[in-house]
Amino acid sequence: MGIFYEENGRVFTLQTRHSTYQMKADGQGVLLHTFYGEKTDNTDLSCLITRGDRGFSGNPFSMGGTDRTYSLDTFPQEYSCFGTGDYRISALKVQNADGSRAVSLRYAGHSIEKGKYDLTGLPAAYGTPEEAETLTVELKDEESGVAVRLYYGVFEELDVITRAAQIINDGKQGVTLLKAASLCLDWQAGEYDWLTFHGRHAMERNLQRTGIAHGVQSIGSVRGASSHHYNPFVMVCGKNTDEEMGDCYGFSFVYSGEFLMEAEKDQMDQTRLICGIHPDDFAWKLEPGESFTAPEVLMAYSGQGQGGVSRIFHRLIRDHICRGQWKHSRRPVLINNWEGTYFDFTGDKLVDIAKDAAALGPDEEPYPPSQSGHGRMLPHTGLPWL
């Protein structure tokens, strides 16, 4: 069993073989993030949350003005919201029917089930009841009726936790989602780098390692697809972490469309990561009773550096993302002449290529019709892709 709930403190602890992830619904109903890292026991780790009177970081009205150490602007949260006193990058931004842009989410319930949650119509990892468990935490804004279901899938043996979010309009008026991220994660302490992969045509996936400095850094795409410019994957790791040792966290967005991954270091030297659909020109109208599901993010932690995280993702994708008859079988191999001949090819050249490649064991050499025909040679015509 990888999911534990301690009712007295309303503490949720997610355990894998080598990692622990914990959150807590506090006395105000705010779902706070307490810890993600090397495996520990189920002890309430909310003592790690730093409290202090921070000037110009507002205090909720519900505190009655008696506790100036309580501020959403400084606390680590599981799903931060725009417009409620947290001035860092946020996961959710909603425009209400009256034009206001604030929702105040509070804990409203949870469920724990065997098996991995399913995201209808979206790609996601899958697992049997023997392989995975699901925690669903529901948050709700009583004023607008906007509710959020946070999904956590725990693959205990693989050291993987998956996350997704569903936003539901349980109110009486329509609302518009202006931002609906899949993941928000805070680190209260530590100096971190983040590793991203940039590229261009014919030169994809180049590693770049940069320090997370004060302010906001981001990678993303507004091209309609994730594209070859940036991969929707990041690693966050300690300054001295390398391939073999050190704390490392990996995050993979399971979505091929427009995306945004943001990292911010705030006034308190805390680090926040937000992953999800790119909010530029995003405006999703939710009528009463309707819902929107944000795609999945895969998370992994390893104390064995970047290589440890890479191997975790290798196993997860091979066994719980890939599907069909070729999942664990040798794939057919094709030999393609395109970059060997470009337009200068004949039937004899194609036969020679096939003969030379035979020793490598390819299964097929396709005839490239998109390279033939007068249409390809004319300056004002396109590619007749088949």
261/355 same-domain check: no
- Among 266, 296, 326, identify where a domain stops: 296
Is residue 289 within 8 A of residue 202, CB to CB? The reply is no
The model's pTM is: 0.91
Measured distance CA(371)–CA(383) in Å, rounded: 8
CATH of the domain at 122: 2.70.98.60
Measured distance CA(179)–CA(181) in Å, rounded: 6
Residue 225 lies in a domain: no
139/68 same-domain check: yes
285/342 same-domain check: no
- Determine the structural domain holding residue 351 and report its residue range: 338-377
Residue 246 lies in a domain: no
Residue 204 lies in a domain: no
DSSP state of 355: H
Residue 111 lies in a domain: yes
Residue 277 lies in a domain: yes
- Among 296, 324, 352, identify where a domain stops: 296
The contacts of residue 153 (CB under 8 Å, 6+ apart) are 116, 117, 125, 127, 132, 133, 134, 160, 161, 162, 163
Measured distance CA(296)–CA(151) in Å, rounded: 9
Residue 124 lies in a domain: yes
172/72 same-domain check: yes
pLDDT in tens, the chain (386 residues): 899 999 999 999 999 999 999 999 999 999 999 999 999 999 999 999 988 787 887 777 666 567 788 899 999 999 999 999 999 999 999 999 999 999 999 999 999 999 999 999 999 999 999 999 999 999 999 999 999 999 999 999 999 999 999 999 999 999 999 999 999 999 999 999 999 999 999 899 999 999 999 999 999 999 999 999 999 999 999 999 999 999 999 999 999 999 999 999 999 999 999 999 999 999 999 999 999 999 999 999 999 999 999 999 999 999 999 998 889 988 888 888 888 888 788 888 888 888 888 888 877 777 655 555 555 555 665 555 44
26/138 same-domain check: yes
Whole-number pLDDT of residue 385: 45
Tell me how many domains the chain contains: 2
Measured distance CA(204)–CA(200) in Å, rounded: 5
Residue 385 lies in a domain: no
Residue 272 lies in a domain: yes
20/106 same-domain check: yes
3-state secondary structure of 208: strand
- Among 296, 322, 356, identify where a domain stops: 296
